[in-house]
């Protein structure tokens, strides 16, 4: 079945450093979504990418969808302590069944 993997599993950064998480699907995706989940909280929608090669920015966050629509990345510039949490990608192959990635847990050291 479809699998979505994320790397790294954990990332500790010093405040002000950049952070990137990568998402790889075993199958071609029709679209991909990114979520952030704070410790003890629920996933919160960040963005959705649909087009091959699409790049979207939200302030310090940059999201990219690969040309083959099988991978995606989230890059955070100059991390802040408020960026702490687990970042999940979730992709679908068009069946509306979203497969969540394994997540990347980000810890920001002040």
Is the CB of 1 or the CB of 59 nearer to other proteins? 1
Secondary structure of residue 82 in the 3-state scheme: helix
98 touching other proteins, by CB under 8 A: yes
The minimum distance between CB 31 and other proteins, in angstroms, equals: 5
What whole-number distance in Å separates Cα of residue 41 and Cα of residue 56?
25
Closest-CA residue to 51 (of 75, 62, 35, 67): 67
The minimum distance between CB 99 and other proteins, in angstroms, equals: 7
Secondary structure of residue 102 in the 3-state scheme: coil
85 touching other proteins, by CB under 8 A: no
39 touching other proteins, by CB under 8 A: no
Residue 59 φ/ψ region, left for φ over 0, alpha for ψ in the -120 to 50 degree band, beta for the rest: left
34 touching other proteins, by CB under 8 A: no
Residues that bind other proteins (CB under 8 A): 1, 30-31, 33, 35, 41-45, 48, 50, 88, 90, 95-103
């Amino acid at each position: 079945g479809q699998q979505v993997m994320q790397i790294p599993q954990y990332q500790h950064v010093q405040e002000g450093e950049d952070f990137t998480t990568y998402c790889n699907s075993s199958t071609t995706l029709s679209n991909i979504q990114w979520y952030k989940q704070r410790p003890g909280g629920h996933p919160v929608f960040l963005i959705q990418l649909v087009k091959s090669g699409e790049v979207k920015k939200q302030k310090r966050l940059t999201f990219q969808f690969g040309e083959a629509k099988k991978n995606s990345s989230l890059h955070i510039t100059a991390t802040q302590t408020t960026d702490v949490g687990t970042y999940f990608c979730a992709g679908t192959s068009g069946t509306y069944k979203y497969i969540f990635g394994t997540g990347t847990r980000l810890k920001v050291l002040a």
